[in-house]
Every structure is written in structure tokens, then in C-alpha cells.
Amino acid sequence: MRSLELDLTRYDTDKVRSGHLEHYDQVFEPWFDRELVLLELGVHTGGSLELWRDYFPAAEVVGVDVALPEGFQPGERTKVFEGSQGDTSFLSEMAAAACRVRRNDRRGFAR
């Protein structure tokens, strides 16, 4: 189980506090080591982005929030965009930018 391989005390996220990760392990197991782009709507403190980055070691993690956490610095394989998930124009621009970054960094998407 992937969640048992991580030091969950490092992540400030409700996904740890709620105990949901043990259920995620079963659902996400086929994708643990695949190259993928994971989108998190609602960044809060950024803890979930860091968790997903480590949970999926080959993934690019993209976060969207209407107000990004003050002082949060995206790290390796983590990108953040400030805007509303209700704004379809913003989402289209964000998706295009996230896909461009992915293509440039990783030579395309895994199928």
C-alpha cells in the first residue's frame, strides 16, 4: 500500500486526517508508477499537492485554486494556477498551459 510507504505526518492535508488514503491505495494502485497529470481542484495549503507528488512518483501534479496559499512555492513536478474552476475560459487556458509543460518536460502523455 503506497500510503504505508510515505511519512504521512509531512503533509498538511485532509486526505491524511480523514483516513481516506487507505481507500485510495486500492483504487489508484494501477497508476502508482505511471506518467500522468493529476489535477487537484482546491489547493488550500498545498499539502495535497505535495502528497500527490510523492504518492505518484512519475506524475505531474497541477493545482487550481481561486486564491493560492500565501507563500506556497510549487516544487518539482508541481504546478499551480490561480483562478476559478467555474471559469471555463480560465480552465481552457490552464489545461493548455499544463499540457504544454507536460509535452516539453516529458515528451508526451502516457496512454
Q: How confident is the model at residue 100 (pLDDT cuts 50, 70, 90)?
A: low
pLDDT-derived band at 107 (thresholds 50, 70, 90) equals very low
Model pLDDT for residues 17-51, shown as the tens digit of each residue: 888 888 889 899 999 989 989 999 998 889 999 99
Inter-residue contact 7 to 29 (CB < 8 Å)? no
Give this prediction's pTM.
0.81
